[in-house]
Structure 1
Amino acid sequence: MKNLPDTDETLLIRTDHSDQAAWQALLTAVTTPNKNGFLANVHVVDDVAYSDLTTEQAVSVARARGDLLIVADTTALTGPEMPLLAVLPFHEDEDDDYDEDEDEDEETKQEHGELRVIAAELWSIENNISLANMDWEDFVNAADEGVFRGF
């Protein structure tokens, strides 16, 4: 796989190149500030080298970067709300995410979080996770059927 850009911004990786109009609509939604002026701070990666990037590969990329990663896949480009896939690797020091008394062994412990977020609300997850203002679980708990649509 081609190396990703080295940037402090959250990567937004396009993995579906089948519909240019849908991609442009998604970019417009992501790059338009909300009514309060909030905007996701993303670095767009629009390269056919990442076509059909699997969830496992995205998780691997996110884990290697150690940061939030956003994927514009087929679901994001075909859904009416443009539900992007947000991937966040969990770090060893994030003990709050795990209960040491659970019977879960190291092999089954989840190493990342995945959550769909509609394009219009990407700013909320990206800003708050990147600045450590909120925890991943805050967004997971606010999601409806696995999709975060805002608070």
Structure 2
Amino acid sequence: MTETTLVCDTPSMLTMPDPPCALVLRTDFSNDATWAAVCAASSALSVEGFGATLSFVSDRAFADLSVEQVVALPRVADRGFLFLVDHVTITNPEMPLVVLDLNVEPGRWFRVVPAEMWGVENNLTLANLDFRDFADRVDPDGVFRGFAG
């Protein structure tokens, strides 16, 4: 797990972080223990031994940003997607993170439980599957919990 803290002089200078791995951006700072649990659960290997390659960014400059505000952030690099840890992630017992499309349909998003992040991250990073392959297969509550059968 890589955690990065960025320092920004003013909100107007805020840009999308550019870590070396898939970005997990914290926007809710209400519970540090749950943030740590989300990081641990997201980094855990699957029963098959697969894991997500993630960079965790915890910087209060991003506090309370909406999906729309995150999509609008200037970018240093061409990043296709990112994960957000928002208020729902922190308060829901399943800790579902937002998966946000930044390229094909910027602003389109769905949620994923930490145990399935490895599949989303691996396949989107390698372009084995497209964003819509996951987004179109969420449960009725908008959360991806894996491919059925």
Partner of 1:148 in structure 2?
Answer: 144
Partner of 1:106 in structure 2?
Answer: none
SS at match of 1:142: coil
Deviation, 1:76, is 0.5
Deviation, 1:53, is 1.1
Q: Taking structure 1 as the reference length, what is the TM-score of the superposition?
A: 0.79
Residues 62, 69 of structure 1: 8 Å contact kept: no
Percent identity of equivalent pairs:
39
Does residue 67 of structure 1 match 2:63?
Answer: no
Deviation, 1:62, is 8.4
Gaps of 5+ in 2: 1-10
| Distance in 1, Cα, partners of 2:55 & 2:24 | 6
Partner of 1:48 in structure 2?
Answer: 60
Q: Taking structure 2 as the reference length, what is the TM-score of the superposition?
A: 0.80
Deviation, 1:80, is 1.2
Deviation, 1:63, is 7.1
Q: 1:23 aligns with which of 35, 38, 45?
A: 35
Q: Which runs of 4+ in 1 moved over 3 A?
A: 61-66
Gaps of 5+ in 1: 92-109
Does residue 139 of structure 1 match 2:134?
Answer: yes
The structure whose Rg is larger is: 1
Q: Provide the alpha-carbon RMSD of the alignment.
A: 1.9
Residues 117, 147 of structure 1: 8 Å contact kept: yes
Aligned residues: 133
Q: Deviations over 1:7-34 (max 9, x none)?
A: 3411101111111111111111011111
- Which amino acid in the other structure matches residue 117 of structure 2? L
